[in-house]
Structure 1
Amino acid sequence: MGNLKSMSPCTKIVNGRKITTKGIVQSGQERVEVEEDDRIKSLMINGKERLPP
């Protein structure tokens, strides 16, 4: 089977900052990334908080 990737991004401007939330499902793994001004601020994998890179 192929490697299917589903991504749903949402971008908002809050107090002059660009906040982007990305929901990504790939190979049965769910990731939620929150970026502030193009820097990762939060990362969750399968519902567990991870340290951003």
Structure 2
Amino acid sequence: MAAYPSKVRYDAENLIRATVAFNRKTEPELYKRMGEVENKARYLKRLVKEDIERGKSA
């Protein structure tokens, strides 16, 4: 499905996409936890917000 030009422009101006890979052999605890989480985006956003609140954001 092709995106409308206005949607492409909005996304370019307002969104950032991040992809994270978890290796089941080298990071089994992370891999397992992400498999248990129903809404991965919400979970990761909450973790980032908590990090910001603690003042440890890079």
Give the number of the structure whose residues are more often strand, by fraction: 1
Fold in common (TM above 0.5): no
Q: TM-score, normalised by structure 2?
A: 0.29
Structure of higher RCO (CA pairs closer than 8 Å, 6+ residues apart): 1
Give the number of the structure whose residues are more often helix, by fraction: 2
